[in-house]
């Protein structure tokens, strides 16, 4: 087993928002390989999100984004299970990034949005981003609807 420094665990925690012990275990499993540990945690969060797929979502958050030219804007509704998670900074950040995605990529509907590559990290899709955030927060998340305005 590799000797994993607290600094490396902290860095992985900051980049993934996953718990410290999960970060440490991922780093130990990969003998300190940071990229492989990130991938393990990403896959683990996708599995967690899939397990929550049958839960009911009654709470949520509406994010907005107005492009700098003030001629294009979007509202995105993301549903979750509890109001506690609806107030969570990670959910709100993800929802705001989704609103920016809608402005930038102009998807026709939610299915098209979920299939798009994420503009901030083209290696994942929007659906994977939502599942990763769901795994981190421990609740089912649903992109319910959005609207895009353009002058």
CATH of the domain at 37: 1.10.8.10
pLDDT digit string, tens, across residues 120-132: 999 999 999 999 8
Same domain, 37 and 70: no
* pTM for the whole structure: 0.73
Residue 24 within any structural domain of the chain: yes
Count CA atoms closer than 13 A to 134's CA, side-chain side: 27
Residue 16 within any structural domain of the chain: yes
What is the residue whose two structure tokens read 């900074």? 89
Confirm if 78 and 113 have CB atoms less than 8 A apart: no
Beta bridge partners of 142: 79
Which residues form the domain of 43? 6-51
Same domain, 65 and 99: yes
Q: ∠ at Cα 80 (75, 83), nearest 5°?
A: 95
**Does the pLDDT value for residue 50 go beyond 80?**
no
CATH of the domain at 66: 3.30.479.20
Same domain, 32 and 100: no
Give the integer Cα–Cα distance in Å for 126 and 142: 11
Count of structural domains within the chain: 2
Q: What is the percentage of the chain residues whose pLDDT exceeds 90?
A: 56
Mean pLDDT of 24-51: 79
Residue 1 within any structural domain of the chain: no
Same domain, 65 and 44: no
Residue 35 within any structural domain of the chain: yes
Same domain, 41 and 105: no
DSSP 136: H
pLDDT digit string, tens, across residues 92-122: 999 999 999 999 999 999 999 999 999 999 9
Torsion from C-alpha of 99, 118, 140, 39, nearest 10 degrees = -150
């Amino acid at each position: 087993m590799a000797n994993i420094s607290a600094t490396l665990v902290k860095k992985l925690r900051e980049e993934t928002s996953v718990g410290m012990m999960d970060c440490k275990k991922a780093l130990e499993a990969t003998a300190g390989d940071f990229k492989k540990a990130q991938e393990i945690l990403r896959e683990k969060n996708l599995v967690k999100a899939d397990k929550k797929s049958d839960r009911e979502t009654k709470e949520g958050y509406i994010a907005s984004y107005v492009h700098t030219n003030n001629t294009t804007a979007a509202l995105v509704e993301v549903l979750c299970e509890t109001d506690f998670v609806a107030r969570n900074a990670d959910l709100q950040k993800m929802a705001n990034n989704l609103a920016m995605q809608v402005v930038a990529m102009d998807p026709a509907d939610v299915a098209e949005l979920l299939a798009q590559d994420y503009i901030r990290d083209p290696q994942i899709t929007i659906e994977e981003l939502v599942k990763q955030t769901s795994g981190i927060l421990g609740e089912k998340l649903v992109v319910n609807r959005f609207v895009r305005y353009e002058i």
